[in-house]
């Protein structure tokens, strides 16, 4: 005569493992653990590969900028006042402020920026003549 097993057996362990796996998968898809959205931008012939972007208000975006040019560039995000300040500024390198980064010739750099509220945010390169040449764009925040 067989006695019933205590403690669950194979089916109970399998069910527990499936529940744990499902919980792990759900946590991985959660916005809290998903991390920032990544947008990659190429710089070629003193121009950005994108001039218009759209993001959600409150979102954090990681910008990865690949500079294939033989000269340095920069990527500066901000309102018109920020762009004006950099257009007449003397900063040689960027990287400490979110949304501001220098991309050396033939290299890749990144910066992360949180778009707090709806509106328009500008981006551009302010090395001499680059912004006027058209090395700029807009981010629509909805």
Predicted pLDDT of residue 35: 81
Place of tokens 């340095």: 72
The angle at the Cα of 142, spanning 115 to 27, to the nearest 5 degrees, equals 65
For residue range 47-84, what is the model confidence (pLDDT) as tens digits?
999 999 999 999 999 999 999 999 999 999 999 999 99
Count of beta carbons in the 10 Å neighbourhood of residue 74: 26
pLDDT at 110 over 50: yes
On the 0-12 / 13-18 / 19+ scale of CB atoms within 10 A, 77 is buried
Please report, to the nearest 10 degrees, the dihedral formed by the alpha carbons of residues 38, 132, 91, 71 taken in order: 70
Domain boundaries, the chain: 35-141
Predicted pLDDT of residue 88: 86
Predicted pLDDT of residue 30: 44
3-state secondary structure of 14: helix
CA–CA separation, 81 vs 96, rounded Å?
19
CATH T-level topology, domain 35-141:
Immunoglobulin-like (2.60.40)
Predicted pLDDT of residue 28: 43
């Amino acid at each position: 005569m067989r006695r019933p097993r205590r403690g669950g057996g194979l089916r109970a362990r399998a069910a527990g493992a499936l529940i744990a796996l499902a919980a792990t998968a759900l946590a991985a898809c959660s916005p809290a653990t998903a991390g920032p959205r990544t947008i990659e931008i190429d710089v070629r012939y003193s121009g950005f590969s994108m001039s218009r972007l759209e993001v959600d208000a409150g979102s954090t975006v990681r910008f990865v900028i690949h500079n294939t040019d033989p000269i340095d560039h920069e990527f500066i995000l901000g309102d018109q006042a920020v762009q004006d300040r950099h257009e007449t500024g003397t900063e040689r390198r960027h990287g400490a402020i979110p949304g501001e980064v220098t991309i050396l010739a033939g290299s890749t750099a990144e910066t992360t920026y949180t778009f707090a509220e709806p509106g328009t945010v500008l981006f551009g390169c302010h090395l001499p003549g680059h912004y006027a040449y058209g090395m700029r764009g807009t981010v629509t925040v909805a």
